[in-house]
Chain A
Amino acid sequence: MGRPTTVISPGKRLLPAVVAIALLLPLLFVGTAPAADLSLSSKTYLRYYERELAGGNKDTFAPLYEYLSADATNLGGMPVAFHFYGWGRVDLSDPSGSGKESGDLGSAYLEYLHPQGNAQMKLGRFFLTEGAAMETLDGAFVKATTPLGLGVSVYGGAPVEQSILNGTRVGSSLYGGRVFFVEAGYAEIGASYLKESGTFQEGKDRELVGGDLWLRVGGPVELSGQATYNRSVREMASQRYAVRIVPGATFDISAGYESYTYKGLFQSTLNPAFVFPAFDNDDKVRTIFGIVDWTFVPGWTLEVAGKNIRHDKSDPGDANRGEAGLRYSYNDKKDVAGFSAAFVAADREENEYREYRGFATYSPPKIRLALDALTQQYKREIYGKKKAYQVVASAGYQVLAALQLSGDLTYTQSPNYTKDYAGLLRATLELGTTTGGKK
């Protein structure tokens, strides 16, 4: 705890190099490329909202966001692709965040997908989920499966701390891997390891050992499990086990058990939010859950979910959450209308609330209309109020095959806002040289 928390992420130090390499690498293929499949997605948002300040003054916010993603596949006629995703913000009025500008490079990487065995390689900045890892890193990832079904994946590089704050703690390097066995259609079992060098909990590196399992035990019944052990603090971080029955295209049911410890799952010693008395670091959460998804008539789907959450500590105490919803899809599945009701019943009154939501969309040719209404009712008053409402109305028009313009108007009434109106304009541009796939 004695170390100052202001460090520069290695990811940030490497950012210019990553961007340069990632952008220049595809050029290697330009001379040899008979063709490449290109796609570009640009989503531009202009938001407008006001916030009241103490003393009766108002701040007006108009942040302009651009989310850009680009994919070039089949580079040089080879199974090589380049992927890019990033976003940026410029405030046209008062600063809406830390400063009037911000942005992030989410991913920029070169990918090789081998035609056999799902072997693959990634190089650059990418988001990775593999066994115990759910990371963004500047580095490399390799995965291959042998004819026996044994497989291995390894990765390494510099971690990218995807934090909204600057100067938060991040390690100097991150590496790990997963060994697995897969029998197509019946089983996949894996063991994984992750290590991030740095000063984390108890002044140690971040070190995780994971296990994962998917097993089709017979007919439509499958079992899945996932567990992660935090070696740094010698605590089981999290476990999740579920049984799922999927007999066909109309019915899906799952039930399971999940648990995690605050000390094992969170890097809790670094975060005052999880320090006693706000939260007790020794707390453990055990959850039993069940979900049903049943399309009982074509187009009509019933969704029911329940969760029993038990804490070791009386604060926050235990709770039950239940939810039931009905969805109706129409207009050749382009449109959906739905209604749902949820409740949280808890040991402590301040944790109880109910929620009701209804929505509908309507998409005649070239037009997209949507309406979404939500209300929450809290058992105990929050800032003197027990209810919250939000209504979002959206309308869009397909100007060109590749360009859609739309706008949302949001009205919110809640313990935070007496009456809040917010607007959003959205321009979505989708360009591509081929059909199929990406969405």
Chain B
Amino acid sequence: MTRRISFSAVFGAVLIALLFGCSAVSQTPSVPPKHPEDLPQGRVDCLECHKDVSTGALKPYASVRHSRVFIDSHGTYARQGQNLCASCHAPAFCQTCHARKDEMKPDTKMGDRPDRRAPHRGDYLITHRIDGRLDPGSCFRCHGNKNDSRCKQCHK
């Protein structure tokens, strides 16, 4: 218990020191809150126009090229910041899939967009028996890992 309190206190102290000790905010221009031009349909490739390092993610634009590799690992990038994402995607975009209370499957909502990598195509009530057994960690990226309540609905 003491260790836990001391850990929290140390962590809090570091945060406060960083917040108030380093009073100046970087003068590097932020990524624009909105992409200035209309974007084409389909998978976006930032490299068609951009070549440098993004001012938002502070990563090369090649890293956020929307390839299958990026789409499968976008969470790694999102956990370091979403400014660049938010420049082109509306805030609600994430919650199309990461909406744990949502009742409609993403592929049902996007039946007109088979090109999108929407999970749960087909009769997923059947397939989840296999995918859920073999790699349950993949379920929790959208359904949450706190109460597992989506599972509980049937697995009582």
Contacts and interface: CB of A to CB of B under 8 A. Distances in A.
Contacts of A336: 42, 114-115
Interface in B65-110: 65, 67-70, 72-73, 75-83, 87-95, 98-104, 108-109
A58 interface: no
Given A41-B90, A214-B59, A412-B122, A252 B68 contact: yes
B92 A117 contact: no
A249 B39 contact: no
Most buried by A among B93, B141, B152: B152
A207 B19 CA distance: 23
Contacts of A180: 80
Contacts of B130: 344, 350-351, 353, 378
Contacts of B36: 436-437
A173 interface: no
B101 A163 contact: yes
Interface string B52-66: 010110111011010
Given A273-B152, A376-B122, A170 B146 contact: yes
Instruction: Give the dominant DSSP class at B's interface.
Output: loop
A372 B112 CA distance: 9
Contact of A147 (B24, B38, B72, B78): B24
Contacts of B100: 136, 162-164
Contact of B22 (A150, A214, A424): A150
Contacts of B80: 180, 188, 190, 212, 214
Interface string A299-336: 00001010101010000100101000001010011101
Contacts of B146: 161, 169-170, 196, 200, 206, 267
Interface in A131-190: 131, 133-134, 136, 143-152, 154, 161-165, 168-170, 177, 179-180, 182-185, 188, 190
Contact of A162 (B34, B73, B125, B144): B144
B38 A436 contact: yes
A118 B147 contact: no
Contacts of B109: 43, 45, 67
B53 to A, nearest CB: 4
B6 interface: no
A39 to B, nearest CB: 8
A149 B133 CA distance: 42
A371 interface: yes
Contacts of A231: 4
A336 B76 CA distance: 27
Contacts of A291: 68-69, 72
Most buried by A among B34, B40, B72: B34
A344 B134 contact: yes
Given A144-B25, A185-B59, A246-B62, A272 B156 contact: yes
Given A117-B30, A214-B59, A106 B92 contact: yes
Given A83-B91, A185-B60, A332-B40, A368 B112 contact: yes
A120 B83 contact: yes
A30 B127 CA distance: 51
A370 B111 contact: yes
A316 B134 contact: yes
A406 B89 CA distance: 23
Given A104-B102, A242-B76, A293 B69 contact: yes
Given A113-B33, A161-B146, A439 B69 contact: no
Contact of A184 (B58, B83, B135): B58
A163 B147 contact: yes
A25 interface: no
A164 to B, nearest CB: 5
Contacts of B99: 104, 106, 162
Contact of A185 (B58, B90, B122): B58
A218 B118 CA distance: 33
A4 B11 CA distance: 33
B147 A271 contact: yes
A307 B134 CA distance: 11
Contacts of B129: 382
A105 B143 CA distance: 16
B86 to A, nearest CB: 8
Given A118-B81, A338-B115, A390-B121, A260 B25 contact: no
Given A267-B145, A361-B115, 10 more contacts: A45-B104, A83-B90, A117-B30, A163-B100, A252-B67, A270-B147, A274-B151, A361-B114, A382-B126, A390-B121
19 contacts: A73-B33, A129-B78, A133-B79, A136-B100, A143-B81, A185-B58, A185-B59, A188-B80, A244-B63, A252-B69, A266-B136, A266-B145, A273-B151, A273-B152, A303-B68, A327-B115, A357-B121, A415-B126, A436-B35
Closest 3 CB pairs of A and B: A117-B26, A273-B155, A162-B100
